[in-house]
A and B are shown apart, each in its own frame.
Chain A
């Protein structure tokens, strides 16, 4: 069964706007990670946030983690056409595995 559930399933915004997607999970975790997948390609790691961290930044990406609500959000600021992709969250629950959500499909309109 999937640990993470992303919300929304799909998001379409104008270039330059901010994009926010959310991830909820079920069990306690060591860390939560976000990945990007361009159509038909392998996944690329974006950012990792540990269970004792609340917020993390990397370039135009901002990730928050609320362990009390078992949820995380990924914010992409000043979106670009190249940000069009599917975004997945994955959780490490301590059993050598990453458990994946179904992803959010992000479309950036020019």
Chain B
């Protein structure tokens, strides 16, 4: 049982380049999330999805796009990378319940540097 898998684990981009981060979960979870974590800070939500084919903006969505074409995958795209997007990116998933968000399972993170 792999849980949540993120690829790649490390990446260096030049300003203006584009890339896609892939998140895959094998737990049949409805909810999926993309966060960024900067030094000394907690997680900030970029985008999230509550089901296949649906996405929504989080706290810091500018400069990012997402897609959830398949339930198990959640893709995060950077169309034109900027140095301010240097960060560690985490994907997470959780079961969707009417009573609220339950335990979130995290990937191991993608360390992105934009030069």
Contact = CB atoms under 8 A, between A and B. Distances in A.
Q: How many of chain B's residues touch chain A, expressed as a range?
A: 20 to 34
Contacts of A88: 42-43
A74 to B, nearest CB: 15
A97 B45 contact: yes
> Chain A interface: which size bin?
20 to 34
Interface of B: 4, 31, 33, 35, 40-45, 48, 50, 56, 58-59, 90, 92, 96, 99-109
Contacts of B33: 97-98
B38 to A, nearest CB: 10
Given A30-B99, A96-B48, A97-B48, A45 B42 contact: no
A29 to B, nearest CB: 8
Contacts of B92: 43
